[in-house]
Structure 1
Amino acid sequence: MRVLIRADASLRIGFGHVMRCLTLADALRDNGCEVLFACAAEPGNALQLIADRGFSTCALPGGDLRQSAEAPLPWAADIAALWAALDGAGTFDWCIVDHYGLGADWQRAVRARARQVMVIDDLANRDHDADLLLDQNLTASNRAYAGRLPAPCQSLLGTRFALLRPEFFGGPIELAGEARRVVVSFGGVDPTKETLKAMEALQGLPALEVDFVAGAANPAWDELVSRCEGQPNWRLHRHLNDFAELLRRADLCIGAGGATSWERAVLGIPTLCIALAENQRPNAEALAEAGAHLYLGESSAVTAADLRAAVQVLAGNLGLRRSLAARSRALVDGMGVGRVLCALLAPALTLRPASLADARLLFEGRNAESVRQASLSREPVSWEGHLHWLEGVLASERRWLLVAELADGPVGVLRYDRLESRPDTAEVSIYLLPGRAGVGWGHHLLAAGEKALRAHWPDLGVVEAQVRPDNAASLALFARAGYQQEHCLFRRPLPGENP
């Protein structure tokens, strides 16, 4: 699958759009996709950073003179520049656009080279012509986008879809009784010099060890270096390869209200948040209302004295820090990338009939602990018993066993058993293979299976499923798929047929 990503970074807008796209691009590449970035060559752009991560890039002309990063770009000129830069690059399965200045007109035009369009947005302030919308903010809602999306567009809304790199997984940190280590990070640019403000606030607090993370484009770099001189407990980082590990060692963090909010949240880092721009304010306020961090306000309203007082309060209050950590972890589980990938790759999902060559795959999948606990029978299956069962299934005209696959390997298993007592009805059994659960693949397997089933048994009228009463995931899955529930039995008439 080929994916084009249109996103910009600059001294004016920062690196947030490109960084979250890079997180998604890494996952797409791991799943066998070819990814190309198209970025404007603005001062402070991320073209070299993207290339260093191993992705192909094409540079578009700079010269963005808009008064606001949210103002529209001249979309026709941007498309023309894109076509020129993509000369000979062919077509794409997806175009992912993460840009406040590009709306429905641009998205409609890019379909000349992209079969499907995904939009990453935070603002809900313009119309889109997209097949898939991602808004990972706590403020995201269907109501906010009402009337701005075409009818077939699938929406991925909220913190369940936060784009986090794998290094931020692995469980929450342990909180010390008295905070000693502080991480200060305001992104790759920090145009309002909040890092400098934090240094002023933390000066004279020798009990704290502080790591300041400032990007290469930080406008106050020389002054930051000067301020750190004579401060033995301060460390200034310009190139940091393992930000997640630095956060894991922290007792509290001072940072902005952008994408790093989710990195702090999934680890449970108690945070003092300052919004660097108006578009960060709603999400920062919503996180504060949810009890996930302490929001001090917009940068222009927060003084060094305000920040110092807040640090002293939070550092000494273990109960407050524990509450912030628990609330933030409840909002972000770290599986957002997998859920977004599921939506992007679902069209590439294929089903094939199982064979004896799949015996080991099916045996290990059926005996996986997560699968056994969700099955009607939780007992492990022996190898001999499994082979006997598989041979019988493959030989039966009333049973159909399917393996669902992607380019990177198998995803799950479907089995349909046609009932002798009601020949127009088949019972479905489904399980996902280890590593595939929790991101939405079950829904796509059922949809693909239903489509294949209508071709395989065109006279079939109804599909049923038996579910354990304690299997909440399967109960929710079949309800979402349109099955009608009668206790633990789910029934779904196939479209076009009457049961």
Structure 2
Amino acid sequence: MRVLIRSDASPTIGSGHIARLLPLARTLRKQGSHVAFVCRQLPGHRLDMLAAEGFETFALPQRYPGEDPQQAIESLLPWQADIDALAHALDSHPTFDWIIVDHYGLDYHWQTAARRWAPRIAAVDDLATRQYDVDLLLNQNLLGTPQAYASLLPLGCQTLFGPRFAMLRDEFCCPAIPIKPQAKRVLVNFGGFDAAMQTHHAMLAMAEFPELEVDFVAGADNPAWENMQALAADHPNWRLHSFVSDFYRLMTEADLFVGAGGGTSWERAALGLPTICIAVSNNQQANGEAMAASGAHVYLGPREQVSVEQLRQAIGFVAGNPGIRRSMAEHSRQLVDGRGAQRVAAALAGAVLQVRPATADDAQLLFDGRNAEAVRRWSLETGVIEWSSHQKWLAASLHNAQRLLLIAETDDGPVGVLRYDLRGLEAEVSIYLFEERIGLGWGRALLARGEAFAINHWPQLRAITAQVLPANQPSLKVFREAGFTQSACAFTRVLKDDSND
């Protein structure tokens, strides 16, 4: 699979868009996909960093003809000029399977035009303020809901809503950090640029707590850098970082985080790291409020409304209150499990998922997959299958004209198994995923691809049915979302209506 990512970074835009896409890009590459980034050469564009990590990169101009330099913000990006520049950059390059766009300034005009390079477009968003021409939309925030996008998306668009799709690095799929009786170490970070100088304000608030060890991660381009250096020199327990190569380690060593409401919100939640949050941009406010309402962090409000004294009081209250910190940790861990990037990657790969008939060479694969404990738990027959019985069953299945046994595969290997048993004009489907694929959302893609294969194999097919155990809520949900009609725990998907013949 070939994927192109369109996003930007600059002091005005921030680095959050690129930062939240990197875990997905790494996950896709690990699964065998080719991933490329295309960005404008704005100050702080991150293209060098992406290239150093091994991603293919394409550079677009810093400024387009006729563009007002005083209006160099995302909402005013001239989409046609961007498409023209993209055409020049991609000239003679192979097309892509997906284009992912994470940019507030590019709406359905750009998305429609970009289909010349890919048949599928995905958008990453958290505003719900414009029209989209996309095949998949991701909003990883708590307030991302179908209702918010009801009039903005085309029919048939797949949607991924909520923090379970928060795209985090692999290390955030981990145990929670311990909650100590008294917070001793604090981590402060307000993003890669911090144009609003909130790190400096946090320093002023922290000056009242000499007993706390504090790591300030600010970036050397921070407009208050010299003032912060002077403050840090007077506090032996403070460490001011212009760059850190292991931000994750600092997070795991911290007892309290003070920072913005951007992408690190989900990293903190996955770790169960108690947080005092201040929104540094408009798009962070709603999510900051929603996470506070869920008990996941303390939200003080937008930066313009938070004084140094208010921040000082909040730090003192939270640092000395283990019950508050423990409650935040528990609620935040309920929101995020660290597997969001894998779920998004599965949704993208599901669109190009390959399905093939099983062969005798798949005997071991099918044997191990069917006997996995997570699969047997929800099977109608939960016992362990013996190898000799399995061999006989497979041989009989492969020679049974009324049975279709399929294996779904993606770039990095097999995903799951589908079995269709034909009875008259209906076929009953049975489905399971290989153990490492469970919980990532592959089921709907398997059913769609399997259905297409079954219809082509049996043109006379009128309906597909399925039986699901009552307690198997994930499978019940998958079949409902795949268009099956439920009656108790039996599902039917009508393919052809005899009344129209």
TM-score (norm 1): 0.95
Q: Any residues of structure 2 matched to 1:211-226 within 5 Å, and which?
A: 211-226=215-230
The farther-off stretch of 280-289 and 67-76 is 67-76
Deviation at 1:414, TM superposition (A): 0.7
Residue number in structure 1 paired with 2:426: 425
Distance in 1 (CA, whole Å) between partners of 2:442 and 2:74 is: 35
The farther-off stretch of 144-153 and 175-184 is 144-153
Q: Are the equivalent residues in 2 in contact too, given 1:72–1:100 (CA < 8 A)?
A: no
SS at match of 2:437: coil
Residue number in structure 2 paired with 1:491: 492
Give the counterpart letter for 1:338 in structure 2. Q
Distance in 1 (CA, whole Å) between partners of 2:204 and 2:224 is: 13
The farther-off stretch of 147-156 and 283-292 is 147-156
Match of 1:163 among 156, 161, 167: 167
Distance in 2 (CA, whole Å) between partners of 1:378 and 1:72 is: 58
Deviation at 1:359, TM superposition (A): 0.8
Distance in 1 (CA, whole Å) between partners of 2:6 and 2:18 is: 9
Q: Are the equivalent residues in 2 in contact too, given 1:461–1:498 (CA < 8 A)?
A: no
Deviation at 1:418, TM superposition (A): 2.6
Q: Any residues of structure 2 matched to 1:213-362 within 5 Å, and which?
A: 213-362=217-366
Q: Any residues of structure 2 matched to 1:138-157 within 5 Å, and which?
A: 138-157=142-161
Q: For 1:457-486, what per-residue CA distance to the aligned partner results, in whole angstroms no more than 9, with x for missing partners?
A: 222333222222222222222222233333
Residue number in structure 2 paired with 1:384: 388
Q: For 1:33-56, what per-residue CA distance to the aligned partner results, in whole angstroms no more than 9, with x for missing partners?
A: 212211111112211111122112
Give the counterpart letter for 1:52 in structure 2. A
Give the counterpart letter for 1:349 in structure 2. L
Q: Are the equivalent residues in 1 in contact too, given 2:418–2:432 (CA < 8 A)?
A: yes
Q: Any residues of structure 2 matched to 1:360-375 within 5 Å, and which?
A: 360-375=364-379
The farther-off stretch of 337-346 and 403-412 is 337-346
Deviation at 1:68, TM superposition (A): 7.1
Distance in 2 (CA, whole Å) between partners of 1:373 and 1:489 is: 18
Deviation at 1:315, TM superposition (A): 0.9
The number of aligned residues is: 496
Q: Are the equivalent residues in 1 in contact too, given 2:420–2:428 (CA < 8 A)?
A: yes
Distance in 2 (CA, whole Å) between partners of 1:178 and 1:233 is: 16
Deviation at 1:447, TM superposition (A): 1.3
Residue number in structure 1 paired with 2:120: 116
Give the counterpart letter for 2:426 in structure 1. T
Residue number in structure 1 paired with 2:93: 89
TM-score (norm 2): 0.95
Residue number in structure 1 paired with 2:49: 49
Q: Structure 1 residues 309 and 374, CA, compared in 2 at 3 Å: closer, same or farther? A: same
Deviation at 1:107, TM superposition (A): 1.4
Q: Structure 1 residues 228 and 84, CA, compared in 2 at 3 Å: closer, same or farther? A: same
SS at match of 2:147: coil
Deviation at 1:243, TM superposition (A): 1.8
Distance in 1 (CA, whole Å) between partners of 2:499 and 2:5 is: 45
Match of 1:393 among 377, 385, 397: 397
Residue number in structure 2 paired with 1:36: 36
Q: Structure 1 residues 397 and 384, CA, compared in 2 at 3 Å: closer, same or farther? A: same
Residue number in structure 2 paired with 1:467: 468
Distance in 2 (CA, whole Å) between partners of 1:389 and 1:312 is: 66
Residue number in structure 1 paired with 2:189: 185
Q: Are the equivalent residues in 1 in contact too, given 2:10–2:45 (CA < 8 A)?
A: yes
SS at match of 2:406: strand
Give the counterpart letter for 2:495 in structure 1. L
Residue number in structure 2 paired with 1:20: 20
Q: Are the equivalent residues in 1 in contact too, given 2:208–2:312 (CA < 8 A)?
A: no
SS at match of 1:377: coil
Distance in 1 (CA, whole Å) between partners of 2:111 and 2:489 is: 44
Say whether residues 1:481 and 2:482 are aligned partners.
yes
Deviation at 1:206, TM superposition (A): 2.3
The farther-off stretch of 106-115 and 344-353 is 106-115
Match of 1:101 among 84, 100, 105: 105
What is the aligned-residue identity percentage?
52
Deviation at 1:308, TM superposition (A): 1.2
Q: Are the equivalent residues in 1 in contact too, given 2:378–2:472 (CA < 8 A)?
A: yes
Deviation at 1:497, TM superposition (A): 5.0
Distance in 2 (CA, whole Å) between partners of 1:245 and 1:495 is: 57
Q: For 1:3-51, what per-residue CA distance to the aligned partner results, in whole angstroms no more than 9, with x for missing partners?
A: 2211110122210011112222111211222122111111122111111
Distance in 1 (CA, whole Å) between partners of 2:108 and 2:358 is: 43
Q: Are the equivalent residues in 2 in contact too, given 1:251–1:269 (CA < 8 A)?
A: yes
Deviation at 1:498, TM superposition (A): 7.1
The farther-off stretch of 361-370 and 337-346 is 337-346
Q: Are the equivalent residues in 2 in contact too, given 1:401–1:416 (CA < 8 A)?
A: yes
Residue number in structure 2 paired with 1:434: 435
Q: For 1:220-274, what per-residue CA distance to the aligned partner results, in whole angstroms no more than 9, with x for missing partners?
A: 2333233222423222233322222221222111010111111111111111001
Q: Are the equivalent residues in 1 in contact too, given 2:24–2:342 (CA < 8 A)?
A: no
Q: Are the equivalent residues in 1 in contact too, given 2:13–2:74 (CA < 8 A)?
A: no
Distance in 1 (CA, whole Å) between partners of 2:128 and 2:74 is: 11
The farther-off stretch of 468-477 and 41-50 is 468-477
Q: Are the equivalent residues in 1 in contact too, given 2:354–2:410 (CA < 8 A)?
A: yes
Where do 5+ consecutive residues of structure 2 fail to align? none
Q: Structure 1 residues 230 and 141, CA, compared in 2 at 3 Å: closer, same or farther? A: same
SS at match of 1:258: coil
Give the counterpart letter for 1:266 in structure 2. A
Say whether residues 1:415 and 2:419 are aligned partners.
yes
SS at match of 1:196: helix
SS at match of 2:76: coil
The farther-off stretch of 462-471 and 379-388 is 462-471
Q: What is the Cα-based RMSD across aligned positions, in Å? A: 1.9
Q: Are the equivalent residues in 1 in contact too, given 2:414–2:434 (CA < 8 A)?
A: yes
Distance in 1 (CA, whole Å) between partners of 2:119 and 2:361 is: 35
Distance in 2 (CA, whole Å) between partners of 1:320 and 1:189 is: 30
Deviation at 1:404, TM superposition (A): 0.5
Where do 5+ consecutive residues of structure 1 fail to align? none
Distance in 1 (CA, whole Å) between partners of 2:131 and 2:304 is: 31
Deviation at 1:334, TM superposition (A): 2.0
Deviation at 1:67, TM superposition (A): 4.2
Q: Structure 1 residues 408 and 120, CA, compared in 2 at 3 Å: closer, same or farther? A: same
Give the counterpart letter for 1:348 in structure 2. V
